[in-house]
Structure 1
Amino acid sequence: MSVLPLVFTSGWASGINAYAVVLLLGVFGATGLSDEVPQALQRPEILVTVGVLFLCEAVADKIPYVDSVWDSVHTVIRPAAGAWVGALLAGQSGSVSDLTAAVLGGSTALASHAVKAGTRMAVNTSPEPFSNIVMSTAEDLGVAGIVTLAIFHPWAAASVAGVLLCTGLAVLFFLVSRIRGFLRRRARRREERRTGTTVGRPPGRAPWADGG
């Protein structure tokens, strides 16, 4: 059976939480629940490292604005992880070339990372901290559920991941204007603090003066 559905699903999940993907796959392989998981992902040092990083992400991902900084740092890490996992899975199965799997896993991870990072920027403009906590918890549970499904029913998991990716990209398209508005407001506030005046009004003119 082709390993591409598992590569696609793990790529999508890596774009959201790469550490959770490696940790879950490694545990499934180490416990003998799956023969599809390469030995490289089952190594104790790998599992311990990603376990610690997963806990760090679980905290950072729930703090307003810290989550966006974390996402920025992981713009390279998540796609790279998706490509790495995809190549390893392809090498384990031998049903598809490592390069093809790496490109599929990496590009899918990049797309889902863009959805997550963009959505979080929009979420940070809404009341906090509950929206961040809810979003982060939902993402973690979603990654865990879909990766688990992918181990036993790869095509079903790939279908769900595909729907979620397309839906996320569509939502992100509509959130772009909100994100731009937020960035403009933040830049305006920064400028007002720097100059001590209200941007858009003549210097020295009181805000209530416009009312006559």
Structure 2
Amino acid sequence: MLEIATGSGLALSAGLNAWIPLIFLGVLSRFTDLVELPGTWAWLENGWVMAILVVLLVLEFAADKIPVLDSINDVVQTVIRPTAGGIAFGAGSMSETATVTDPAAFVQSGQWIPIVAGVVLALGTHAAKAGGRVVANTISGGTAAPVVSAAEDATSIGVSFLAVLAPLAIIPVLILFVVGVILLIRSLAKHRRARAAGHGGEDAYYV
């Protein structure tokens, strides 16, 4: 149960920032006793891997705070964040799923489930983030991008800490996540209907 909560929290974190939970796992595993990665995920604590992840983190940290560029970054991250979520869930839940030598046995064993769960959670978080960013940029003319991005980074760090140090605290976070996604979907749907109605009114006027 705790392992699942940890993996879920790290996957949610990856949906906001792909690199934070991966760096978090690598650093804690290499320098503390809080996390002990299984052999198949031990590459996360490799010095070169962590250095590359830090560079990628810095690049995304900058790109995500610049209007227009942040939207382009979100498009690129549509593949990266879910992938990171699958890795984070698998490593965080201590699942031996990184090496697949027999695909049929892998499917039958159910070892793919943590990775898929992480991908789904991260993808949902990423979609909510990207959709929310569009709304925030539209309302503020792009000026909200740095503030919103900083809040997302802080949330990603906080959720990663909770996932490892207080896994049970992730349960209400998951509930809030589901509620937030539902509210965001409704908000986006309402916004689209309003825009469609506005365009319809203009067309009717000119006709």
* TM-score for both structures, normalised by structure 2: 0.79
CA distances 1:96-131 after superposition (whole Å, capped 9, x unpaired)? 953121111111001101100111111111224541
| Separation of aligned partners in 2, 1:48 and 1:28 | 15
Aligned match of 1:85: 88
2:139 alignment partner, SS class: coil
Q: What are the equivalent positions in structure 2 for 1:114-125 lying under 5 Å apart?
A: 114-125=127-138
1:170 alignment partner, SS class: helix
Aligned match of 2:65: 62
Q: Report whether the alignment pairs 1:40 with 2:43.
A: yes
| Separation of aligned partners in 1, 2:170 and 2:36 | 15
| Separation of aligned partners in 1, 2:161 and 2:6 | 10
Distance 1:133 1:85, change over 3 A: same
Aligned match of 1:15: 15
| Separation of aligned partners in 2, 1:63 and 1:181 | 27
Distance 1:36 1:5, change over 3 A: farther
Higher Rg of the two aligned structures: 1
1:146, 1:161 within 8 Å by CA — same for their partners in 2? no
| Separation of aligned partners in 2, 1:106 and 1:152 | 22
CA distances 1:146-178 after superposition (whole Å, capped 9, x unpaired)? 111211111212432431343233223213343
Identity within the alignment, %:
28
| Separation of aligned partners in 1, 2:134 and 2:142 | 13
Unmatched segments (≥5 aa) in structure 2:
98-108
| Separation of aligned partners in 1, 2:27 and 2:160 | 12
Q: What are the equivalent positions in structure 2 for 1:106-145 lying under 5 Å apart?
A: 106-145=119-158
2:15, 2:125 within 8 Å by CA — same for their partners in 1? yes
Residue identity in the other structure for 2:184: V
| Separation of aligned partners in 1, 2:150 and 2:3 | 28
CA distances 1:75-101 after superposition (whole Å, capped 9, x unpaired)? 11111111122223344589x953121
User: Which of 104, 116, 121 lines up with 1:103 in the alignment?
Assistant: 116
Residue identity in the other structure for 2:182: L
Aligned match of 2:180: 167
| Separation of aligned partners in 1, 2:196 and 2:27 | 41
Distance 1:74 1:179, change over 3 A: farther
Residue identity in the other structure for 1:9: G
Alpha-carbon shift at residue 183 of structure 1 (Å): 10
| Separation of aligned partners in 2, 1:50 and 1:182 | 40
Residue identity in the other structure for 2:56: L
Q: Superposition RMSD on alpha carbons, in Å? A: 2.9
Distance 1:200 1:60, change over 3 A: same
Residue identity in the other structure for 1:30: R
* TM-score for both structures, normalised by structure 1: 0.77
| Separation of aligned partners in 2, 1:164 and 1:43 | 32
Aligned match of 2:55: 52
